[in-house]
A and B are shown apart, each in its own frame.
Chain A
Amino acid sequence: MTVFSLIIINKAGGLIYQREFQPGLRKLSTNDYLVLAGTFHGVHAITRTITPKLPLLTPTAIASTPTSASSNLASPSGTSTPIPPTTTTTTIAAATTPSVSASSYTYPILGVPATGLESLETDKFRLTCFQTLTGTKFLLFTDPHMANIEVVMKKIYDFYADFVMKNPFYQLEMPVRCEAFDRNLNGWLRGRT
């Protein structure tokens, strides 16, 4: 159940937070962390571009599909039952019909958002990325066998919403220097192990 460290990247790809909770990984220089954040941000954006977009499922779009894409013989997924918005990425397979015209796709407004890279794994650690709807990314370095990372991620987001965003003197998109955030996060993580 080891959580090695946490990195937070703002929506522009800048590193705004980096903390180590338990030793186990080699430390990088500050500059390398910045590079890591920027690089990950870029790779994440690319992986999201590769992810197929889902067809628009609103009635108006379905109605417009035949006219806007007369060359396409069928668009079966366009008539499929709407996917509930809370469904996770497992429904991506629904988008594999390539014949649906581009105009019937929509982004970023669609039932299932295109997610980017979500985890990276090596022998020694797993890097899990959680991107909020506002574009902030939380990168968690853990033991590769650790279970229930979502629970940890959720709690970190809670702490972030409370102790960072609600601190009136925290400037949005700037490096996080909130002592209460550190303290609560540390305390909670220590309590888990």
Chain B
Amino acid sequence: MSSNTKASRIGEELWKTRVDKVNAELVTLTYGTIVAQLCQDYDGNYQEVNKQLEKMGYNIGMRLIEDFLAKSNVGRCANFRETADMISKVGFRIFLNIAPTVTNWTSDNNQFSLVFDENPLAEFVELPDDGRAQDELWFSNILCGVLRGALEMVQMQIEAHFVSDVLRGDDTTEMRVSLVRYIEDEMPPEEE
């Protein structure tokens, strides 16, 4: 597929030339500390931790998108399939140096999965064995928020959630992304 390889090329090129690198352990440890702290603050209420992580990601995504656009200089995607490719091959490549596999499309082209072969956020992580974290905590949930925030800024309302995670003993780490709607030009509520 030509757009597929094009996105890969853009991603590789940007990763090599335009991205400042930081130590991976710094990222892993920082993120791990945040999640652990949230688990402590919310007293093991993992649903709430998932929610907070998603919210933090959302705020990151809304800012990160400008960096993505400024660096990549790409135009608007023609369809959601192209968007998925951009997310995987350019977005994840330049920010985490991974390119999750885009797969499991629904026939209406509005839903796909990202399958993570590697996940820098979750390296060295073992979920607490309190009998609940394995079933309730989505450790990398911040990524769902990042996608939601970033895509909202470019007029796409989406919903993203993890459906499996190797940390929980699943075979794969998979995120499901669904397009809710394209946001037409409208006044933001705070300006009314």
Interface residue? A183 (CB, 8 A): no
Find the residue from B65, B66, B77 having the highest chain A CB count within 10 A: B66
List A contacts of B62 (CB < 8 A): 172
List B contacts of A109 (CB < 8 A): 76-79, 155, 182
- Which of B34-42, B162-170, B183-191 forms contacts with chain A? B183-191
The minimal Cβ–Cβ distance linking A172 to chain B, given in whole angstroms, is 6
Which residues 94-118 of B sit at the A interface, judged by CB distance below 8 A? none
The minimal Cβ–Cβ distance linking A129 to chain B, given in whole angstroms, is 16
* Given A108-B185, A165-B63: A82 in contact with B70 (beta carbons within 8 A): no
Per the bound structure, the CA–CA distance linking A173 and B66 in Å amounts to 13
Which residues 144-158 of A sit at the B interface, judged by CB distance below 8 A? 154, 157-158
Task: Please name the residue on chain B nearest to A58 by beta carbon.
Answer: B79
List A contacts of B71 (CB < 8 A): 158, 161
Contact among B67, B74, B76, B155 for A165, CB-based, below 8 A: B67
State the total of A-B contacts with C-beta under 8 angstroms.
78
Contact among B74, B153, B184, B188 for A86, CB-based, below 8 A: B74
Contact among B66, B70, B74, B182 for A108, CB-based, below 8 A: B182
Interface residue? B73 (CB, 8 A): yes
Q: B70 contacts A161, CB within 8 Å?
A: yes
Task: Please name the residue on chain B nearest to A166 by beta carbon.
Answer: B63
Interface residue? B27 (CB, 8 A): no
Contact bitstring A5-31, B, C-beta under 8 A = 1, else 0: 000000111100000000000000000
Q: B78 contacts A113, CB within 8 Å?
A: no
Which residues 146-192 of B sit at the A interface, judged by CB distance below 8 A? 153-155, 182, 184-185, 187-188, 190-191
The minimal Cβ–Cβ distance linking B91 to chain A, given in whole angstroms, is 13
The minimal Cβ–Cβ distance linking B88 to chain A, given in whole angstroms, is 16
Q: A113 contacts B187, CB within 8 Å?
A: no
Interface residue? A57 (CB, 8 A): yes
Q: A12 contacts B187, CB within 8 Å?
A: yes
Per the bound structure, the CA–CA distance linking A111 and B75 in Å amounts to 8
Q: B66 contacts A134, CB within 8 Å?
A: yes
Interface residue? A118 (CB, 8 A): no
List A contacts of B74 (CB < 8 A): 85-86
Interface residue? A188 (CB, 8 A): no
Which residues 113-130 of B sit at the A interface, judged by CB distance below 8 A? none
Per the bound structure, the CA–CA distance linking A160 and B76 in Å amounts to 20
Which residues 10-26 of B sit at the A interface, judged by CB distance below 8 A? none
Q: B153 contacts A154, CB within 8 Å?
A: no
Which residues 14-71 of A sit at the B interface, judged by CB distance below 8 A? 14, 45, 57-58
The minimal Cβ–Cβ distance linking A167 to chain B, given in whole angstroms, is 9
Per the bound structure, the CA–CA distance linking A9 and B82 in Å amounts to 29
Q: A110 contacts B76, CB within 8 Å?
A: yes
Task: Please name the residue on chain B nearest to A113 by beta carbon.
Answer: B76
Contact bitstring B32-65, A, C-beta under 8 A = 1, else 0: 0000000000000000000000000000001111
List B contacts of A136 (CB < 8 A): 66
Task: Please name the residue on chain A nearest to B154 by beta carbon.
Answer: A133
11 contacts between A and B (CB under 8 A): A12-B187, A12-B190, A57-B78, A82-B78, A108-B185, A109-B155, A111-B76, A134-B153, A161-B69, A166-B63, A172-B63
